[in-house]
Chain A
Amino acid sequence: MSKTCLVVEDSRVIRRVTCTIMDGFGFKCIEAEHGQEAVEACEKEMPTVILLDWNMPVMSGIEFLRKLRSMPKGDTPKVIFCTTENDFSHIQEGMAAGANEYIMKPFDSDIIKSKLQLLGLIENT
């Protein structure tokens, strides 16, 4: 079964860039513009990993994450916050809500790779 990645991010440009990077690591990407769309995507099928922005219209990243973790099978996806909300308190809040990792923007593909390795989602080469 192929590994899937849900990219939840309101900026189209960042979504595209992130998908290209994840593509390169062998993930099939699904895109969502905000938390509500992400919930719908997860109801259809839980992805392997979710890259999640914080600030989005309709439903924020943290709201989505809390909702996800209460859904049936909602504990299966690894969630990586990917956000400009880079202060200590946001990181702690994100982790407390059930995130598995945290990436501070701006990021590069090396950082994404490193975090995917830490979560055991790709081989450590």
Chain B
Amino acid sequence: MKKEDFDLFADMVKKRSGLVLTSEKAYLLESRLMPVARKLGLKDLEELAASLRNKRDEKIMETITEAMTTNETFFFRDQKPFDQFRQVVLPHMLKVRANKKSLRIWSAASSTGQEAYSLAMILSEEAHKMPGWHTEIIGTDISHEVVEKAKAGLYNQFEVQRGLPVTMLVKYFQQKEDRWQISDKIRGMVQYRTMNLLEDWGPIGLFDIIFCRNVLIYFDQPTKSKILERQSQVLAPDGALFLGGAESVLGICDKFKSVESQRGIYIPTVCPADMWKAA
């Protein structure tokens, strides 16, 4: 691929989504954009680049951007954050929200929905501790395709076997021919919508818990800072932020600090840390 074509695609994707594509990723770009070019009836990426130079078609730019996202995810990914959610963060919330009896959770970059549905399944398991509570889980992602898949809640045999205990499969899914659909009850607990973390979030409200896992890793430092900064404004002062295993706030955003002996969990700097020790 010609350097100027690579740069054209990479700049556009970066501007629209924050995803950084370095030149070693040229092979990735080629393998993901070839199908896009073919679908448009174009011979190769050179023609795709030429068509973009000729006309910056919004729909095509969106398709290219979505094609460059990595959507890999699975139920209860890494297990530990979900154990922490259930054993540490939820008990804390049950205490500090005992009067309000409300809990709002955001799965930012929810991909095909496994993360948000995992949280919904945990809430369902813990429901007996939360009589009369109002809970809300919102899943957002830049890609329309994955959001549609998340809403449908239909997964293939491989997807329901990675991370998901079979007891949960039997309890919360129905078999639909060769696929598995999450139950209406769990599906009804989550709302999915497309949203770009780089753009205006609209009236999204205040959250108690934010899962923002395995997405910041694709961004450059200024983009990470900006997103974390804005997330600090929509997280309650006694709330918690979960990042992915390879992500941290360290040196990127001083609005959050880590929690002692709880790797991966971050809390607003303004929150006294002993509040969590007590939980």
Contact = CB atoms under 8 A, between A and B. Distances in A.
Interface in B169-199: 169-170, 174-175
B167 A95 contact: yes
Contacts of A124: 78-80
Contact of A95 (B162, B163, B166): B166
Contacts of A104: 157, 161
Interface in A61-102: 86-88, 91-92, 95, 101-102
Given A88-B170, A91-B170, A102-B166, A115 B161 contact: yes
Interface string A102-125: 111001101100110110000010
Contacts of A103: 161
Contacts of A95: 166-167, 170
Contacts of A91: 166, 169-170
A101 B160 CA distance: 13
Given A101-B165, A114-B162, 10 more contacts: A91-B169, A92-B170, A95-B166, A95-B170, A101-B166, A102-B169, A110-B162, A114-B74, A117-B79, A118-B163
A110 B159 CA distance: 11
A124 B158 CA distance: 19
Contacts of A117: 79
Nearest to A111: B161
By DSSP majority rule, is chain B's interface helix, strand, loop, or mixed? loop
A111 B79 contact: no
Contact of B158 (A101, A111, A115): A111
Given A91-B169, A101-B166, A114 B161 contact: yes
Contact of B163 (A88, A92, A108, A114): A114
15 contacts: A86-B157, A87-B175, A88-B174, A91-B170, A92-B170, A101-B166, A107-B161, A111-B162, A114-B162, A114-B163, A117-B79, A118-B163, A118-B165, A124-B79, A124-B80
Contacts of B74: 114
A88 B74 CA distance: 21
A67 to B, nearest CB: 21
Nearest to B80: A124
A95 B171 CA distance: 12
A102 B78 CA distance: 19
A120 to B, nearest CB: 10
Nearest to A92: B170
B274 to A, nearest CB: 29
Contacts of B79: 117-118, 124
Interface string B92-110: 0000000000000000000
Contacts of B170: 88, 91-92, 95
A108 B74 CA distance: 15
Contacts of B169: 91, 102
